[in-house]
Chains A and B, each alone.
Chain A
């Protein structure tokens, strides 16, 4: 029997627009059926499916290029996707380039949001899924396990994932710089807008102590509070209770400021030794810019947060060359090991 060929076949956000990715994505219900069908195709020895919102990729070991071609056709048939169209948007690699691609993906270098960390978990899930289905073998086991190690190495030895690059997470990062642990931090969300909701969720995912929603329409505030497992505060009580909160997120559509300098001054007097952090995500702005001059008060508006996110992205981008060099070196070393282990497939 010939040595298995390590291969990669798939489509990602680079060449595939969202409307096509939607058609290619394997739903959680259909993924097991496809995985089973594909793994039993003649010539396919090992198979792992990486299925995320930005990519559908198959990593495997096959006896021949024909077996990979059969996998391509089976996938297109399974998804009802024209195979000639798939050929124009898909990417395919074998041997070292396939390893290099997996390491690039796992390191977050191939992600839409450069350096994001979620992808490594998704690659781990894909491998675990393949393992549980018994479709991994000596090639994929070695490649994936080393890919996890090397991806971690890239992240710890470069600044590829340094700083956050979304406005909501930058806001949370700033709150951590002010308060450290957020578990005792009370958050007040002013307005029920989309960006405010996202920021509130980001705070909750970082363990914020409690969340309160206030909106001009109490019904809307209560609705969002229910969604976010928070409490609602009548709008007319906001100024009086401002000092009870550590973080105030403004995201209303109000034409004028909703937190005045006098409101903030009164609030900080109630908590002189505790900082007060205003995050103004609204346009026009919700919070009077003059509050930034108050002692122990910190104010960041949408532009400030976006600027930090841009700087973080620039810092990550500057690390790409260094990170790619590491990936290339690690991939070559791993490829040598695979070749000596199972012949690797050329």
Chain B
């Protein structure tokens, strides 16, 4: 059994997330409440398998597996799930497990479906420096936070739509309250910005020593993502960007973030 490759384990993990998505969808269609414990178990199983797959990949590349688009997608999904396993148990937001499984299944399956995203040749992007590795892992973990934030923003938009249009059955009947979603979104936004700021802080120390270590494209993209989320956080704290408009802004931002990932990973061309 242990002869499986890292990708096989990651396929198993994706299958678990997909199972969560299918079970959740069936429950929603039948207007039955899906057991939160069951969903938590399925996602935990997927997380364990994914962790093992990424661990094997880490052993293979002798470092944190963040060297290409495939690994970036996998690591973001893994981070979001890790956070869900903490938040899901603490805040008990109904349907968050379902939405998390949908997104995790999408990210992992998409990344596995494009072999070109995971070429055998890879650059040694960390140069053996564990602090730079930490900087990258922290940045990707903050992306995981933004990933979960996207889910709460999406749930917010759906709940507002449901309440405004008076569509209260099916999926909508299980959504958490909009105030709960707003509160959890604000916490996630704050946590994401803090983590990304810390990551950029660590990275900046090494970048200032030698500005040629990071190409301009990666730097521009990363700082733009950080700046965009920071501006959104400030506007939210000042009550300038709230409610549905805030949620749409967060959804668009994350879509943009995902779109820039190939640019970031592509900036490390194989030698």
Seen from chain A, the residues whose Cβ lies within 8 Å of a Cβ on chain B are: 159, 162-163, 174, 176-180, 272-275, 292, 295-296, 298, 300, 304, 307-308, 311, 315
Contacts and interface: CB of A to CB of B under 8 A. Distances in A.
B243 interface: yes
Contacts of B180: 180
A304 B177 contact: no
Interface of B: 31, 159, 162-164, 166, 168-169, 173, 175-180, 182, 236, 239, 242-245
Given A272-B239, A273-B239, A275-B178, A177 B159 contact: yes
A173 to B, nearest CB: 9
B163 A298 contact: yes
A180 B166 CA distance: 18
Given A159-B31, A273-B239, A180 B168 contact: no
Contacts of B177: 176-180
A295 B243 contact: yes
A275 B179 contact: yes
A4 to B, nearest CB: 41
A159 B170 CA distance: 12
A174 B243 contact: no
Contact of A179 (B169, B179, B242, B244): B179
B175 A304 contact: no
A177 B178 contact: yes
Given A273-B239, A308-B168, A311-B169, A178 B244 contact: no
Contact of B242 (A163, A180, A296): A296
Contacts of B163: 174, 177-178, 298
Closest 6 CB pairs between A and B?
Answer: A180-B177, A273-B242, A180-B180, A272-B239, A296-B243, A179-B179
A304 B242 CA distance: 26
Nearest to B169: A311
Contacts of B173: 163
Contacts of A308: 166, 168
A273 B244 contact: no
A160 to B, nearest CB: 13
Contacts of B159: 177
Nearest to A159: B31
Nearest to B243: A296
Contacts of B242: 272-273, 295-296
A298 B179 contact: no
A192 to B, nearest CB: 28
A176 B176 CA distance: 9
Contacts of B243: 272-273, 275, 295-296
16 contacts: A177-B159, A177-B177, A177-B178, A178-B163, A178-B178, A179-B177, A179-B178, A180-B180, A272-B239, A272-B243, A273-B236, A274-B179, A275-B179, A295-B243, A298-B163, A308-B166
Contacts of A273: 182, 236, 239, 242-243
A178 B179 contact: yes
A247 B174 CA distance: 22
A182 B164 CA distance: 20
Contacts of A296: 242-244
Contacts of A292: 164
Nearest to B163: A298
Contacts of B166: 300, 304, 307-308
By CB atoms of chain B within 10 A, which of A174, A177, A307, A311 has the most? A177
Contacts of B169: 311, 315
Nearest to A297: B164
A167 to B, nearest CB: 14
Given A177-B177, A272-B242, A275-B243, 10 more contacts: A159-B31, A162-B31, A177-B178, A180-B176, A180-B180, A273-B239, A274-B179, A295-B244, A295-B245, A304-B166
A180 B31 contact: no
Contact of B179 (A162, A174, A180, A315): A180
B92 to A, nearest CB: 11
B94 to A, nearest CB: 11
Contacts of A311: 169
A99 B180 CA distance: 44
Contacts of B236: 273
Contacts of B179: 178-180, 274-275
B175 to A, nearest CB: 7
